[in-house]
Chains A and B, each alone.
Chain A
Amino acid sequence: MSWALVLEQTLNGLQFGVMLFLMAAGLTLVFGIMNLVNLAHGSLYMVGAYLAAAFAQWSGSFVLGVALALPATLVVGIAVEVIALRTLYERDHLDQVLATFGLILFFNELISIIWGRAAIYTSVPAILGGHFRILPGLPYPTYRAGIVVVGILVSVLLWGLVTRTRLGMRIRAGASNRTMVSALGVNVRLLYTLVFGLGAALAGLAGAIAGPIYAVQPGMGETILIQVFVVIVIGGIGSIRGAMVGAIVVGMADTLGRAFLKPMLATAISPPAADKAGPALASMLIYLLMAAVLFFRPEGLFPARSRS
C-alpha cells in the first residue's frame, strides 16, 4: 500500500463525493425548504444525462451538450414542479413518496420510449478522454480530474448564491421557518418553483457529467439516489454545508473502504476470511456510518436550524 495509491484513492473519493454533492444539494434544499420527499430526483439526473447525450450528438460538442442540458433540465424540473408536485406540499410524506415513485416509473418508461432501453454512450472530447500524470508514475483520468474541478466551482457558486444573495437569504430563511417567510410577504410558491428548478439543474449537471463514465440508461438515477439519501441524512436535512460535508464523507468512506478494507483486514484475520468479509463490510460502510450519525446526532452533522 504505497502513498501514491492512497493519494490516488483519495482523489477518487473526492471525485465521487463531488458527484454526490451535486445531487445532494438539490435534494436537501427541496426536502428542507419545501418539506417534500422527492424520490424522482434521480430521474432528473437521468434526464440530464440523456439530454446532454442528445445535445452533444446534435451539436457535435460535449461541452455544448452539457451547457444546453443544464437549462433544459431546469425547464423539465420546473414543469414537474408546476404540473405534478405543487399539489403534494400539503399531503403527508407517504403520499409524496408514492407520487414521486410514480414519477420515477413515468420517466424511466418515457426515456425508454424515446431513446430505447439499451444504454447509450457519450464520448468525451479527446483532450479530456485520456489521462495525465499527477505525479511521476501516477496517471489519473483527465475527465475525473475535470469533475473535481467542476464540482468545486459549483460548490463555490452555490455557497455564494446561498450566503451572499437575496435569493439565498430567502432560501435559508425558508429552510429555517417556512411559515414566517410567507408571513413576511415572500412569494413562497415562486420560491419553491425556483428552488426545485435549481435542484433539478444541479441533478441534471451531475447526470450530464456522469454520462461519459457510467452507462446512460433508463433507471440510472435510482442507484445513485440511495447514496444521496445517505448523504443528506448524514449531513442534516436542509443544509447545503451538511450536504457538502456528507458527500465528501460518504465519497471518501465508500472509496477508501472498497480499496483498503480488504488488505487491512487481511493483516488482522486470515486472508480467505478477509476476502469474504472485506467486500461485504465495504459495501455496508456508508450505511454503518449513517447509523452511527443517526445514533449520536439524530439531526445530522449540520442540521438546518429549527424547522417548522
Chain B
Amino acid sequence: MRTKTLAALVGLLAALVALPAAAQTVKIGFITTTSGPQGAIGEHMKNSVELALDHLGRKVGGLDAEMIYGDDQVKPDVGKQLADEMLKKHKVHFVSGVIWSNVMLAVAPTVTSAGTFMIGTNAGPHELAGKMCHEMFFTTSWQNDQTPEAMGKYMQDQNITDVYAMAPNYAAGKDMVAGFKRYFKNKVVNEVYTPLGQQDYQTEISQLRAANPKAVFVFYPGGMGIQFLKQYAQAGLRGQIPLYSVYTVDEISLPAVKEAALGQFETRYWSPDLKNAANEKYVADFKKKYGKMPVFYGAQSYDGIMLIDSAIRAVKGDITNKKGMIAAMRRADYKSTRGPYSYNTNHFPIENFYLLKAVQMPDGEFAMQIQKTVFESHKDAYAAECPMKW
C-alpha cells in the first residue's frame, strides 16, 4: 500500500516536473542584415517573421517562442560570431535567416555541426546543395542557380539570341551566369563582370550599346540594380534593347525605380500576386501592418517560421526529437506562401518558377506580375552531389 502511494506520489511529482517541460519555450535565432544600405532587406525579413508569429498567436508549434535577432552587416565573420553567440549563450533550438551566400557558408556549418537546425530563408549557395548538404539544414528559398536557369529556359524558348550578360564580379555573380547558360544555348555575345557594389554603369552601358545585342541579361541585387536600371533608362536603352534579369527588380527596388523598370522581365519562385490562401493572407496582412508590399525575402522568412512550426507540431512539442522534426520538415507539411512544394534529397525545395513583368497598375502603382510558369517542380542541379539519401 505504502509503495503504491509512493509510486503515485512519484508519478505526480514526475507529472509536475514534466509540466514545465511541455510548456517549454522554443528559442529561434534569426540572422539577417538590418544595418547599412542592405538593411531594407533585413527589415522586410524581420517584419515577416513577426507577422508569422502574429498569425501563430506568438507561439511556434504550440510552444512559447523567443526570437533572438542578429545583424550580420553582410560580413561572414560577424555572421559566424552571431551564430556562436546564439548557440552558446542563448542555447537556441533553431537558427534561421541569412541573406548572403558568403555569410551562409560561414553560418550553416557552425550551426549544423553543433546539432542545431539551420533553416535558411534566402541564400542558396551550391556548396550547401551539393557536397556540403546536411540533415540539419533546410531552406525555404531556392538554390542560387534555379532562378537564372528559369530565365535561361524562357529566353531559349523564345529563341532569343545575341545576349549580353552582366553581373557583379563575385561568386554568386558567376553562378548566376553559369545557371543562365545551363539552359540558354544560343549565342552570348559578351559576359561583363563589374566590381561588387559599383554605382555607376555608364561606361559599361556605352560598351553595351556599341555591341548592339538583341537582349541583355543581368543580375544586380539590391542598390546595384536600382542604379543600373535608372542609368539604362537614362541612356535611352529601355524600349530599345529588352532587359531580362534575376534578383534585380523586386518590391523593395520598384518604388524607387518606378518607370525605369517598366517592361522588365524577371523570373522568380514567388510573387505577391500568386493565388493561394496562405499568400493572400500574408500579403494582405503585411500591407495592413507595415503599409508596403512584401518582397520574396519576407515571404521566405515567413515560410521559415511556418516550417519550424509544422516540425514542432509533428513531434508534439518535444524539441529534443530531432529525427522526428527532420522527418516532418522533409514533408514540407505547412501552408507555404508559394503554394505546395516538396523537398529534394538535399533539403532544397522542388518548386515552380514563374516569369514576371514590371507593369503599372490601374492605381498608378508599379508591380511585378506573373506572366507564365517557366518551370513546374524544378529541381536544382546539385542534388546528385549530395550524399544524403532518404
Contacts and interface: CB of A to CB of B under 8 A. Distances in A.
Contact of B234 (A8, A119, A129, A258): A129
Contact of B206 (A214, A215, A259): A259
Among A131, A139, A144, A215, max chain B CB count under 10 A is at A215
B227 A219 contact: no
Interface stretch (A9-17, A80-88, A241-249, A299-307): A9-17
B194 interface: yes
Contacts of A61: none
Interface of A is mostly: helix
Interface stretch (B125-133, B195-203, B333-341): B195-203
Nearest to B225: A215
Interface stretch (B11-19, B52-60, B252-260, B308-316): B252-260
Given A9-B203, A131-B234, A214 B191 contact: no
A95 interface: no
B84 interface: no
Contact of B256 (A118, A213, A223): A118
A267 B39 CA distance: 43
Contacts of B43: 117
Among B194, B206, B258, max chain A CB count under 10 A is at B206
A218 B256 contact: no
A279 B193 contact: yes
B203 A259 contact: yes
B206 A120 contact: no
Contacts of B206: 5, 8-9, 12, 259
B210 interface: yes
Given A121-B256, A141-B235, A16 B223 contact: no
A100 interface: no
B37 interface: yes
Given A9-B206, A143-B234, A117 B39 contact: yes
Nearest to A130: B236
A213 B227 CA distance: 7
Interface residues of B, number: 36
Given A15-B202, A218-B37, A275 B256 contact: no
Interface in A267-305: 275, 279-280, 283
B207 interface: yes
B40 interface: yes
Given A118-B252, A119-B37, A119-B256, A215 B227 contact: yes
A143 B202 CA distance: 12
A141 B227 CA distance: 14
B39 A12 contact: no
A112 interface: yes
Interface of B: 34-37, 39-40, 43, 169, 191-195, 197, 199-200, 202-204, 206-207, 210, 223, 226-227, 230-231, 234-236, 252-253, 255-258
Given A212-B230, A214-B200, A283-B169, 20 more contacts: A4-B210, A12-B203, A15-B202, A117-B36, A117-B43, A118-B40, A119-B223, A119-B256, A120-B256, A121-B226, A121-B230, A139-B235, A139-B236, A215-B199, A220-B37, A220-B199, A258-B194, A259-B206, A259-B207, A279-B169
Per CB-CB distance, the 10 closest pairs between chain A and chain B, nearest first, are: A117-B39, A118-B40, A121-B256, A131-B236, A141-B234, A5-B210, A215-B226, A215-B223, A214-B199, A217-B37
28 contacts: A5-B210, A8-B206, A9-B203, A9-B207, A12-B206, A15-B202, A117-B37, A117-B40, A119-B256, A120-B256, A121-B226, A131-B234, A144-B202, A144-B234, A212-B230, A213-B200, A213-B202, A215-B227, A217-B37, A218-B36, A218-B37, A218-B39, A220-B37, A223-B199, A259-B203, A275-B191, A279-B193, A283-B195
